[in-house]
């Protein structure tokens, strides 16, 4: 009796008619893909065999040249070789990313059930990057991510590195009240903490409630004053529960956002233009320029990219020239602008760091690329757009 796999090869190699003339495009693609695996020396898996039998059974009357052979072969399906076994990999361990930073690595063989689990917990963990064709996932090394991943994947048969288990146990055994008391602002006596916050704000800076709440994210301290969103944009920004937030551009102008950043002493500022929405480059540069001027920021500004010299590009480049937005990046630079995913190399070589980031009309929400990695070091990343793109951003619309 003809084996199913040899029958498939004969069907695919038949040119009168070709398989595409007999079955749907979807089924023909699957059949050709399976045949390619066979001819390239990769025998099909057991799951693929079930799919092949299903397609042949559904289309036996349509593949007229082979109808009788298909019917006969399907009575008792036989195969020329044993099915290919797929190695099942399920590992959770510490590794390094391209920037040589420690990350949590999820390494696993793809299957539908596991994909659903990962999709579900992706709503809880922070910043994930997919590498090696979806077999590895790199996740930021944070306490929250350790707890979420170990709690979830330990029940999915994952081999979890001992170091991660130890970190997980330590975190789970923390006493929340003791931890909070230890890091309350009035209880912190560490000289480095005092030094950094003094360098940030200065000795003579009046410190109001908004600035205290705002810096609690940056310096990771707690206060007795409960955070609540408040009524103004400045209060919303200062009381954010995470580093990222979305500001509805239809409710708050860019002037308002920059004014709030100045009120919170949040300069220097990094502005990111989204490369996926390149038809708004000129419009957003004009808006940015006007907003900066309204807030008294007219110098020490660097726009570190240019557009091709088409009609719009010429206007964009000329505006930069006219406004002298070509200031060298150094410690006195107040505002800089770059394209998403295209961070200039000199950013890494200078001591300049942003106190805040604004992504203009961001479609990807600074999720991927060098600009996203660089921005993640900042404790305030604002997405100014019609709709939020950052998955974990606080939404501000009032």
The per-residue pLDDT for range 42-55, each reduced to its tens digit, is 898 888 999 999 99
Helix axes 67-75, 46-59, angle to 10 degrees: 130
Q: How many CB atoms lie within 10 A of CB 259?
A: 18
pTM higher than the cut 0.95 = no
The residue-averaged pLDDT of 99-119 equals 81
Q: Report the relative pairing of strands 335-339 and 269-273 from DSSP bridges.
A: parallel
Structure-token match 């399907």, residue found:
74
Q: Which DSSP symbol is given to 43? A: P
Q: What are phi and psi of 368, to 5 degrees?
A: -130, 160
List of E strands, the chain = 90-96, 102-108, 128-131, 136-140, 159-160, 244-248, 269-273, 301-303, 335-339, 356-360, 381-385, 394-396
Check if the beta carbon of residue 9 is closer than 8 Å to that of residue 38: yes
Residue 224 CA to residue 184 CA, distance in Å, equals 8
* Per-residue confidence band for 140, with pLDDT thresholds at 50, 70 and 90: confident
More confident call, 69 vs 224? 69
> What is the three-class DSSP state of 53?
helix
- C-beta atoms surrounding 164 within 10 Å: 20
pLDDT, tens digit, for every residue of 237-293? 998 888 889 999 999 999 999 999 999 999 999 999 988 777 889 999 999 999 999
CA distances from 279 to 307, 311, 361, 362 (A): 11, 12, 11, 13
CA-CA distances (angstroms) from residue 356 to 51, 232, 348?
53, 18, 17
Average pLDDT over residues 90-106: 88
Convert 128-157 to b/e letters by CB count within 10 Å (16 or more is b): bbeeeeeebbbbbbeeebbbbbbebbeeee
**What is d(CA 147, CA 29) in angstroms, rounded to the nearest whole number?**
42
pLDDT at 363 over 70: no
Cβ neighbour number for residue 39 with a 10 Å cutoff: 11
- The span from the CA of 228 to the CA of 304, in Å, is 37
Q: Confidence class of residue 120 from pLDDT cuts 50, 70 and 90?
A: confident
Average predicted confidence (pLDDT) for the chain: 85
Contact of 222 with 185, CB cutoff 8 Å: yes
């Amino acid at each position: 009796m003809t084996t199913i796999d040899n029958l498939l090869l004969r069907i695919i190699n038949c040119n009168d008619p070709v398989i595409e003339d007999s079955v749907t495009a979807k089924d023909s693609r699957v059949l050709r893909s399976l045949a390619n695996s066979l001819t390239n020396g990769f025998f099909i898996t057991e799951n693929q065999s079930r799919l092949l039998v299903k397609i042949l059974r559904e289309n036996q009357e349509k593949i007229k040249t082979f109808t009788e052979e298909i019917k006969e072969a399907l009575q008792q399906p036989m195969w020329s070789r044993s099915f290919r076994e797929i190695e099942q990999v399920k590992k959770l361990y510490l590794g390094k990313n391209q920037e040589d930073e420690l990350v949590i690595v999820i390494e696993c063989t793809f299957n539908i059930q596991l994909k659903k689990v990962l999709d579900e917990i992706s709503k809880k963990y922070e910043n994930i990057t997919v590498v090696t064709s979806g077999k590895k996932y790199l996740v930021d090394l944070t306490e929250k991510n350790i707890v979420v991943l170990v709690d979830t994947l330990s029940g999915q048969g994952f081999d979890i590195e001992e170091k991660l288990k130890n970190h997980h146990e330590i975190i789970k055994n923390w006493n929340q009240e003791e931890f909070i008391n230890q890091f309350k602002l009035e209880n912190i006596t560490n000289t480095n903490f005092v030094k950094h916050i003094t360098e940030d704000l200065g000795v003579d800076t009046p410190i109001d409630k908004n600035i205290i709440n705002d810096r609690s994210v940056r310096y990771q301290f707690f206060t007795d004053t409960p955070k609540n969103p408040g009524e103004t944009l400045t209060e919303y920004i200062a009381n954010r529960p995470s580093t990222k937030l979305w500001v509805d551009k239809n409710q708050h102008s860019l002037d308002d956002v920059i004014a709030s950043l100045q009120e919170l002493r949040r300069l220097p500022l990094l502005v990111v233009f989204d490369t996926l929405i390149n038809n708004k480059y000129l419009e957003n540069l004009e808006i940015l320029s006007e907003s900066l001027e309204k807030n008294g920021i007219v110098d020490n500004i660097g726009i570190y990219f240019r557009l091709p010299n088409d009609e719009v590009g010429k206007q964009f480049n000329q505006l930069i020239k006219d406004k002298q937005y070509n200031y060298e990046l150094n410690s006195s630079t107040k505002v800089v602008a770059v394209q998403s995913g295209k961070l200039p190399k000199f950013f890494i070589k200078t001591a300049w760091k942003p106190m805040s980031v604004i992504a203009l009309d961001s479609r990807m929400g600074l999720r991927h690329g060098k600009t996203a990695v660089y921005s993640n070091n900042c404790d305030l990343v604002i997405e100014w757009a019609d709709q939020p793109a950052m998955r974990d951003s606080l939404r501000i619309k009032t």
